[in-house]
Amino acid sequence: METQAIGSLTASRVGLGCNNFGMRIDEAQTATVVRAALDAGITFFDTADAYGGTLSEEFLGRALGRHRDEAVIATKFAMPLGDEGRGGASAGWVAEAVEGSLRRLGTDRIDLYQQHVPDETVPIEETQGALDDLVRAGKVREIGNSNFSDAQIDAAAALSAERGWAQFATAQNHLSLLERAPLRRVAPACERHGMALLPYFPLASGLLTGKYRRGEPPPPGTRLAVMPEQRVSQVLTQRNLDLVDALTAFAAARDHTILDLAFAWLAAQPAVGPIIAGATSPEQVRANVAAIDWTLTPDDLAEIDTILAEPEPEPEPSA
């Protein structure tokens, strides 16, 4: 497994997304998946206090156990937590949230602590100062953001540089062959500030695995099978299904799968760091790791751009 620097950290190019832990799989299954990830060379584990109602952090911490020092643990704060609606990015909540995550993960430091979502109700000075305090105290090694815009990334970078505070090392955003918006503005912001862009949902909720078929309901046990019908209809659009067909054919012509292509394409994008893919079985872990081995050529990337290009709008009928 190739590795990559994230600030002072060194992480595997493929990461394990832990949002299934405590939701789709139980603690025993989590332990099996984590062991498979470690065996496959994965060192980057991405979770959040809100995943599984805090169970994801608990399950991950216990599954890593004596292998804690082999892992780069990334977790997040700011999403509403529990029935009390706690969350956000206030200094008070940052200080409380990190203690909860440290306790649940069973560790004395968090390698990458990320603000899960922007909080427009709290000045960035307050949040950035609180995160800097955590770094100075040794509770957090690096900090990151998630779901930030390029303008928010630029503002945080400017403030931290002015105050001499810890800088964001990462930006985690929804990025895949079917969701390319971050490449327009967020990726260039990451390049400007020396940050790694961490793609989440790299397989488009499973659409880029080949599991779903046109005109058929999502297979039992898949992510879309347990999602609300409205969300399913947003993913299984005619346009997306057409793209999946074309991308599948492109990959097959080169003796690869569409899953291989999903990882290889992301790995070829500017500023992209560890690709965070969830897994509910050791087989999925191994498939994700194997997919990163394919290196796309410039001609491959140009052909993919042609496939993904938005169709020209139909001309207006003449009067």
Q: How many residues does the chain have?
A: 319
Cα 188 off chain centre by: 18
CB 92 within 8 A of CB 122: no
Q: For residue 177, which of 231, 244, 249 has the smallest C-alpha distance?
A: 244
Instruction: Note if 113 is an active site residue.
Output: no
Terminal alpha carbon distance of the chain: 61
3-state DSSP call for residue 143? strand
In the block, tokens 């909080």 appear at 119
Rounded Cα–Cα distance for residues 160 and 140 (Å): 16
- Assign 161 to helix, strand or coil: helix
Residue type, 67: H
Catalytic-labelled residue, pool 51, 113, 200, 212: 51
Asked whether 198 and 280 are in contact (CB, 8 A), the reply is no
Q: Which sequence positions are flagged as catalytic?
A: 51
